[in-house]
Amino acid sequence: MEPLRLSVDRERCAGAGMCALTAPEVFDQDDEEGLVVLLHPAPPPQHRAAARMAAGLCPAGAIALNSPDPTDS
């Protein structure tokens, strides 16, 4: 299984908190603005499904999933 890499765009983040609620092991929100904080850019296997779900639920599209392309060699 290829590793999952995540990145976040704090400029795009709306502070809805869906990421932190869905995958609290991977995401948090800062205390000042409530913007996304990425705790684990390469989450362990047991947290990948929640991280993918959080990315899909983000209303601002501020979370990017970066999985290696299997066609790249």
What is the domain-level CATH number for residue 19? 3.30.70.20
Residue 72 in any domain: the answer is no
Residue 48 in any domain: the answer is yes
Q: Which residues pair with 29 in a beta bridge?
A: 36
DSSP secondary structure string for all residues of the chain: -PPPEEEE-TTT-----HHHHH-TTTEEE-TTT--EEES-SS--HHHHHHHHHHHHH-TT--EEEEPPPTT--
The per-residue pLDDT string of the chain (73 residues; one tens digit each, 9 = 90 and over) reads: 578 999 999 999 999 999 999 999 999 999 999 999 999 999 999 999 999 999 999 999 999 998 655 544 4
- For residues 44 and 2, give the distance between their C-alpha atoms in angstroms, rounded to a whole number: 11
Q: Count structural domains, the chain.
A: 1
Residue 73 in any domain: the answer is no
Say if pTM beats, i.e. exceeds, 0.85.
yes
Range of the structural domain that residue 10 is part of: 5-66
Residue 16 in any domain: the answer is yes
Residue 49 in any domain: the answer is yes
> If you compute the radius of gyration of the chain from its CA atoms, what whole number of angstroms results?
12
